[in-house]
Amino acid sequence: MTDTTAPDSPRPDFPHATALGYPRIGRRRELKRALESYWAGTTTADDLERTSRELRLATVRRLVELGLDPGTGAVPNSFSRYDQVLDVTATLGAIPARFGHLAASSAAESVAGASTGDRAGLAPTGSATGISTEAYFALARGTADQPPLELTKWFDTNYHYLVPEIGPETPIGFADDRIVREFTEAARPSDGGTPVVTRPVVVGPVTYLLLSKPEDGAPEDFSPLSRLDDVVAAYRELLAALAAAGAPWVQLDEPALVSDLIGVPFDGPTGPGQDRNEPESAPRTVSDAVRRAYATLTAPEAGAGRPQILVAAPFGDLRRESGDRLELLAGTDVEAIALDLVRGTAPSSRPAVQDAADGGPGNAARGAGLAVPGLASKTLVAGVIDGHNIWRADLAARLDLLESLRGTGAGAIAVGTSTSLLHVPHDVADEPRLDPALAGWLAFADQKVGEVVTLARGLREGRAAVEPQLAEATAAVTGRADAAGVVVPAVRDRLARLSDGDFARAPYADRAAAQRTRLDLPPLPTTTIGSFPQTTEIRTTRAAWTRGDLTDADYEARIREEIARVVALQEELGLDVLVHGEPERNDMVQYFAERLAGFATTVHGWVQSYGSRCVRPPILWGDVSRPEPITVPWATYAASLTEKPVKGMLTGPVTILAWSFVRDDQPLADTANQVALALRDEVADLETAGIAIVQVDEAALRELLPLDAAAQPAYLDWSVRSFRLTTSGAAPSTQIHTHLCYSEFGDIVGAIDDLDADVTSVEAARSRMEIVPGLASAGYARGIGPGVWDIHSPRVPSDGQVSDLLKLAVAEIDPRLVWVNPDCGLKTRGYEETTASLTNLVAAAREVRASL
Ligand code: GLN
Ligand code: ZN
């Protein structure tokens, strides 16, 4: 690799190979157990710190074992006890005023006035400077009188971060040096193990503020971005402390640069440079904020006192038709930039790395001419290994891509992952139950680090040096393409024969009339979203059956018993449309994945969702079909117990895709339609069995919305079509419901209308029906069930509170369209609050009904 730094500079080059981050929950979810026992009070804060230190050291040493350089900052130091955004909040001491008492108590623990030098001089395991463990977790989990910081999705992943609350007066400084301590802990380990010079990974200052929300009570026009200078000043202190501790590199993650969903324009009407003329004003655009932040962080007087900076922009394409964001970063004085070369510009397009390999259009191909001003003095960390999905890469093709990048403009090329590996499980070797062929097609975090190391070696020493690894990877990719089940002609033929008629139902007016006759429901019909509380008994029963400790017959008898109980309860409560309660489902996606051909599930494939919560996404590897009916026996059993209509309950194709690892060898649209056809058969079988209402949940429709605005229309088109393909075979008299699980969909109201469901339920209790006027003014004129009970808390709403919400709804929208239901499913609730809340819900519906 060529030297990119000035000839007289003693500063070390960026390492040849790296990953942008690594899973932190532990191979056997050690962190989860440590956290949960600490929260339960059975272990202490010191125990938690000890376990997490062991985990951190084991992780950095594992990364060295896998081939990352131990001495140059190649190993990412990306641990977090809970969340990387919360870690910045803690580092800055940015504790919202509503947690004021915590600020006071944590200040007592900090070493007031400690200079940067003192901090850097901490002993290896350090005397803690900063906010207390108690305060940290109070922000994450709430206190007796304060709800926690809000959880929100991290870009287009299924990870959730804690939203900072920033106001004009929020304290912001360099308040906690944990990041420095965790660097030192690995570099000068107290356990006598191998020292590793890591690269601290920190959410960048611009992304941090763009993800923040104004603190409650902040002035109407306050923008967290106006605190940029304070935040950057604190980062400068952090960087100085890291430099003093010996860190050669630091990674600042700025994924906000690739997102059009953050509410701040990338470039303002006044164009670039505005802030240079108005240094006092707050930045109004992302590009202004980036220029300003990185000018300060790299200002010469800071030069000696900081590590070299890698800015990473994962999750998307920096080279947009709407503006070249790479040019913006290249114009700063940071030493290295990490590009995500895996993401195409639309989820429906093939991955850019493949397009580039085929010579097609893709960001990598467009990026091949990297004649971007400023880039010649920087290292480009080429993210060619997918950190977001689990497929083994075609290494020969990726090496071609890397070679094509060399000499096109960047000062040097290093090899990296496209994103942090946080979003994939640890190790394929931990999955003894996977079909060996399938296992051979997969790369989890450890395998991906190996891929990066191989590519870096190939790039440096020539292809011959890694020929066996390339050949093995090519064989795996070819083997996968040819394997039985990957392409199933019957599935392909059925897809090819689809015509527009397969995506459309009869006009709504005709359907509404037929459904009125068939269902004969009262105005403001009451129903639930599907699941009833999952008691310990139900979970134990399912687990025993999965283990083989319970016969199929016994299992079925117990589930039937539960369904009968739930149906009887709903009749007693007086609900109008009943459900079977979903006791047989572990998870709304996994349940279907386990019963459809084309999917596999893992044993240890856990991925952090938030805090200690992990999910095990199924792997969608082949063409999808339905070997036999999935939900029909349970739904028909429930229906046989009552005169009232029982809703059939399915998870929609987009949600199934969103919460699985999905094959990357064909457009997502095709995969979605395969799932849709399997579900369409299920809808037909439910109809044949006499079920009059079928609900198809699309909890993740908004979640998959591309970060790149230019890619959104194509996404909305295929996602809506897959829903319609699922449901449009239904007769006019069959009522199709959908449940969307969230209410922030101002930007996709049109798409929701295009789903053409007869009834749509959404979350609305917390926002006090805010969604309803928006829907009404957008012309939505089919059934709507805005949630009247916030099921996220055990609080029981009174009938007065429910009827107030209902009155808000019927004032805005034709009362004949309004349904009465909770915000979401009840599986996490207990029976006590469920019974009380549903009693009030039914009473409120009756009251408002009477007043119509
Ligand atoms: N039908 C599902 C349930 O009630 C819906 C869950 C969801 O929206 N997340 O549990
Ligand atoms: Zn929901």
Give the residue, by CA position, lying nearest to ligand 1 atom 6: 825
Give the residue, by CA position, lying nearest to ligand 1 atom 10: 825
**Residue 739 counted as an annotated binding residue:** yes
Q: Which amino acid is at 386?
A: D
Percent of the chain past pLDDT 70, that is, above it, reads 90
pLDDT of the residue at 268: 65
778 vs 281: which has the higher pLDDT: 778
Distance 668 CA to ligand 2 centre (A): 23
**CA–CA distance, 545 with 315 (Å, rounded to integer):** 40
Ligand with an atom nearest the CA of residue 741: 2
Residue 549 pLDDT grade (very low, low, confident, very high; cuts 50, 70, 90): very high
**CA–CA distance, 473 with 393 (Å, rounded to integer):** 7
Residue 280 pLDDT grade (very low, low, confident, very high; cuts 50, 70, 90): low
Structural tokens at position 460: 């440096």
Average pLDDT over residues 360-366: 42
Give the residue, by CA position, lying nearest to ligand 1 atom 3: 825
**CA–CA distance, 268 with 736 (Å, rounded to integer):** 44
Q: Is 385 in contact with 420 (CB distance < 8 Å)? A: no
**Residue 531 counted as an annotated binding residue:** yes
Which region among 358-367, 373-382, 486-495 has the lowest average model confidence (pLDDT)?
Answer: 358-367
**Residue 763 counted as an annotated binding residue:** yes
Distance 369 CA to ligand 1 centre (A): 47
**CA–CA distance, 786 with 178 (Å, rounded to integer):** 44
Alpha helices (H) in 483-551, listed in sequence order = 489-496, 508-519, 536-547
Ligand with an atom nearest the CA of residue 834: 1
Question: How many Cα atoms are found within 13 Å in the side-chain-facing hemisphere of 156?
Answer: 27
Number of neighbours of residue 304 by Cβ within 10 angstroms? 8
Residue 346: pLDDT above 90?
Answer: no
Structural tokens at position 410: 């960047």
Q: Is 355 in contact with 362 (CB distance < 8 Å)? A: yes
Give the residue, by CA position, lying nearest to ligand 1 atom 4: 825
b/e map of 198-226 (b: 16 or more CB within 10 Å)?
bbbbbbbbbbbbbbbbbbeebeeebbbbb
Atom number, ligand 1, closest to the C-alpha of residue 531: 4
Average pLDDT over residues 758-769: 91
Residue 529: pLDDT above 90?
Answer: yes
Average pLDDT over residues 5-17: 71
Q: Is 529 in contact with 822 (CB distance < 8 Å)? A: yes
Average pLDDT over residues 730-743: 93
Distance 684 CA to ligand 2 centre (A): 24
Residue 525 pLDDT grade (very low, low, confident, very high; cuts 50, 70, 90): very high
Residue 272: pLDDT above 90?
Answer: no
What radius of gyration do the chain's Cα atoms show?
27
b/e map of 353-390 (b: 16 or more CB within 10 Å)?
bbbbbeeeebbbbbbeebebebbeebbbbbbbbbbbbb
Structural tokens at position 70: 């131990």
DSSP string, 773-817: HHHHHTT--SEEEE--S-TTSSPPPPHHHHHHHHHHHHHHS-GGG
**Residue 824 counted as an annotated binding residue:** yes
Number of neighbours of residue 728 by Cβ within 10 angstroms? 19
Average pLDDT over residues 273-297: 78
pLDDT of the residue at 114: 37
Atom number, ligand 1, closest to the C-alpha of residue 529: 4
Distance 285 CA to ligand 2 centre (A): 34
273 vs 78: which has the higher pLDDT: 78
> How far lies 401's CA from each of 363, 364, 381, 407, 471, in Å?
12, 8, 13, 12, 17
CB contact set of 825 (below 8 Å; sequence gap of 6+) = 528, 529, 530, 531, 582, 791
Distance 199 CA to ligand 1 centre (A): 41
pLDDT of the residue at 751: 92
Atom number, ligand 1, closest to the C-alpha of residue 695: 1
pLDDT of the residue at 348: 31
Atom number, ligand 1, closest to the C-alpha of residue 699: 8
Mean pLDDT of the chain: 90
Q: Is 377 in contact with 334 (CB distance < 8 Å)? A: no
**Residue 227 counted as an annotated binding residue:** no
**Residue 545 counted as an annotated binding residue:** no
Q: Which amino acid is at 509?
A: A
Atom number, ligand 1, closest to the C-alpha of residue 649: 1
What ipTM does this complex have? 0.99
Structural tokens at position 455: 């590519």
* Phi, psi dihedrals of residue 683, rounded to the nearest 5°: -60, -45
Give the residue, by CA position, lying nearest to ligand 1 atom 5: 825
Distance 579 CA to ligand 1 centre (A): 12
827 secondary structure, DSSP code? T
652-663: pLDDT as tens digits: 999 999 999 999
> How far lies 388's CA from each of 7, 21, 23, 383, 448, in Å?
37, 11, 12, 11, 11
Give the residue, by CA position, lying nearest to ligand 1 atom 1: 530
Per annotation, catalytic residue among 388, 426, 580, 792:
792
Q: Is 612 in contact with 137 (CB distance < 8 Å)? A: no
DSSP string, 290-312: HHHHHHHHT-HHHHTTS-EEEEE
Structural tokens at position 468: 């066996």
Residue 771 pLDDT grade (very low, low, confident, very high; cuts 50, 70, 90): confident
**Residue 552 counted as an annotated binding residue:** no
b/e map of 270-301 (b: 16 or more CB within 10 Å)?
eebebbeeeeeebbbbbbbbbbbbbebbbeee
Q: Which of 588, 631, 646, 792 to mutate to test the pocket of ligand 1 (most atoms within 8 A of CB)?
A: 588
Q: Which of 824, 828, 834, 838 to mutate to test the pocket of ligand 1 (most atoms within 8 A of CB)?
A: 824
pLDDT of the residue at 350: 41
Q: Is 792 a catalytic residue?
A: yes
**Which long-range contacts (C-beta less than 8 Å, at least 24 apart) are formed by 536-540?**
538/562, 538/583
Atom number, ligand 1, closest to the C-alpha of residue 740: 8
SS3 content of the chain, % helix, strand, coil (to 5): 45, 10, 45
pLDDT of the residue at 109: 43
pLDDT of the residue at 103: 60
pLDDT of the residue at 303: 55
Residue 160: strand, helix, or coil = strand
Residue 566: pLDDT above 60?
Answer: yes
Q: Is 136 in contact with 149 (CB distance < 8 Å)? A: no
pLDDT of the residue at 144: 86
pLDDT of the residue at 723: 98
Helix (H) / strand (E) element for 734: namely none
Q: Which amino acid is at 327?
A: E
DSSP string, 588-623: TTHHHHTTSEEEE--SS--EEEETTEEE---EEEEE
Residue 275: pLDDT above 70?
Answer: no
Alpha helices (H) in 271-394, listed in sequence order = 274-277, 286-297, 300-303, 325-330, 352-358, 363-367
Which region among 3-7, 15-19, 620-624, 780-784 has the lowest average model confidence (pLDDT)?
Answer: 3-7
Distance 196 CA to ligand 2 centre (A): 45
**Residue 659 counted as an annotated binding residue:** yes
Q: Which residues does a 6 A CB cutoff place in the pocket of ligand 1? A: 529-531, 582, 588, 649, 697, 699, 739, 741, 824-825, 827
472-487: pLDDT as tens digits: 999 999 999 999 999 9
Ligand with an atom nearest the CA of residue 787: 2
112-133: pLDDT as tens digits: 333 333 333 333 333 456 889 9
585-601: pLDDT as tens digits: 999 999 999 999 999 99
Percent of the chain past pLDDT 90, that is, above it, reads 78
Residue 345 pLDDT grade (very low, low, confident, very high; cuts 50, 70, 90): very low
Looking only at the bridges linking them, the beta strands covering 165-166 and 735-739 are unpaired
Which region among 195-204, 361-370, 705-714, 803-812 has the lowest average model confidence (pLDDT)?
Answer: 361-370
**CA–CA distance, 394 with 397 (Å, rounded to integer):** 6
pLDDT of the residue at 129: 66
179-220: pLDDT as tens digits: 999 999 999 999 999 999 999 999 999 999 999 999 999 999
Q: Which of 158, 580, 651, 739 to mutate to test the pocket of ligand 1 (most atoms within 8 A of CB)?
A: 739
Q: Which of 584, 647, 697 to mutate to test the pocket of ligand 1 (most atoms within 8 A of CB)?
A: 697
First to last CA, the chain: 76
Distance 825 CA to ligand 2 centre (A): 6
Q: Is 158 in contact with 618 (CB distance < 8 Å)? A: no
